[in-house]
């Protein structure tokens, strides 16, 4: 069985959180699709193919496809990932189709991963109070609504949250373990040659 992941991206998405997650999942044999979420004032939706997403550090990333609520449903994917980056996270978390899908994925027993400011999507999607983490910059917006934690990665049922660029590897490897098992996590992590004592 080949697992499938949908990774959202927008202008202002944090590059490391996107690329490290995408790359790590692919190494585990998970089929990944990146989907561009356009901002309300973005005219790129008139294009046939998605434009480059300009990341939070100015690096251009070419998404696989435009985000389509009809094509992003949980019967087609096992995992939905929302990276951070302040501007990108704002665009993605404020999208009502994304909010609807976050709830649907969780209701149908599929995984949802959120990193950094991407965790704001838990708030905008009106998820129930549960353990969660995020980048410190958005902690104040989340702490009263969730059981906030400073752990690098927090797993709450099918919701997996993480803190920022520096926690992207443990976040991605946790997703690999949840989908594919501990042995696959080790198989993916070992050739990456993490320093002794780190999170792999």
Closest CA to 63 of 78, 81, 79, 87: 81
**Is 17 tagged catalytic?**
yes
> Is the pLDDT at 77 greater than 70, yes or no?
yes
**Is 145 tagged catalytic?**
no
Active-site residue, from 14, 15, 32, 135: 135
Active-site residue, from 15, 116, 177, 180: 116
DSSP β-bridge partners for residue 82:
114
Separation between Cα atoms, residue 108 and residue 35, nearest integer Å: 21
Active-site residue, from 15, 17, 32, 177: 17
DSSP β-bridge partners for residue 9:
36
Q: Could you tell me the domains of the chain?
A: 4-192 (3.40.50.880)
Backbone dihedral angles phi then psi of residue 87, each to the nearest 5 degrees: -65, -45
Please give the pLDDT value at position 28. 98
**Is 116 tagged catalytic?**
yes
> Is the pLDDT at 67 greater than 70, yes or no?
yes
> Is the pLDDT at 131 greater than 80, yes or no?
yes
For the stretch 49-80, what's the b/e string if a residue is b when 16 or more beta carbons lie within 10 angstroms of its beta carbon?
Answer: ebbebbbbeeeebebeebbeeeebbbeebbbb
Largest CA distance in the chain: 49
20: which residues sit within 8 A by CB, 6+ positions away?
A: 165, 168, 169, 172
The 8-class DSSP code of residue 182 comes to H
Query: Mean pLDDT over residues 147-158, rounded?
Result: 98
Please give the pLDDT value at position 45. 64
Query: Of how many residues is the chain composed?
Result: 200
Please give the pLDDT value at position 127. 98
Distance of CA 127 to the CA centre of its chain: 16
pLDDT band at 62 (very low <50, low <70, confident <90, very high): very high
Please give the pLDDT value at position 200. 59
């Amino acid at each position: 069985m080949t697992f499938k992941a949908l990774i959202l991206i927008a202008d202002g998405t944090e590059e490391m959180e996107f690329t490290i997650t995408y790359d790590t999942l692919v190494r585990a044999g998970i089929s990944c699709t990146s989907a561009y979420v356009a901002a309300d004032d973005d005219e790129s939706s008139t294009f046939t193919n998605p434009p480059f997403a300009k990341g939070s550090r100015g690096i251009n990333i070419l998404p696989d496809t435009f985000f389509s609520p009809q094509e992003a449903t949980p019967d087609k994917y096992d995992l939905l990932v929302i990276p951070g980056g302040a501007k990108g996270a704002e665009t993605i978390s404020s999208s009502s189709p994304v909010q609807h899908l976050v709830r649907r994925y969780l209701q149908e027993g599929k995984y949802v991963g959120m990193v950094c400011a991407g965790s704001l999507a838990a708030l905008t999607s009106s998820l129930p109070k549960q353990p969660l983490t995020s980048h410190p910059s958005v902690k104040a917006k989340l702490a009263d609504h969730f059981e906030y934690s400073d752990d690098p990665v927090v797993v709450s049922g099918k919701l997996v949250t993480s803190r920022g660029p520096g926690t992207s590897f443990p976040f991605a490897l946790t997703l690999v373990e949840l989908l594919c098992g501990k042995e696959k996590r080790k198989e993916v992590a070992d050739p990456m040659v993490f320093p002794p004592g780190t999170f792999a």
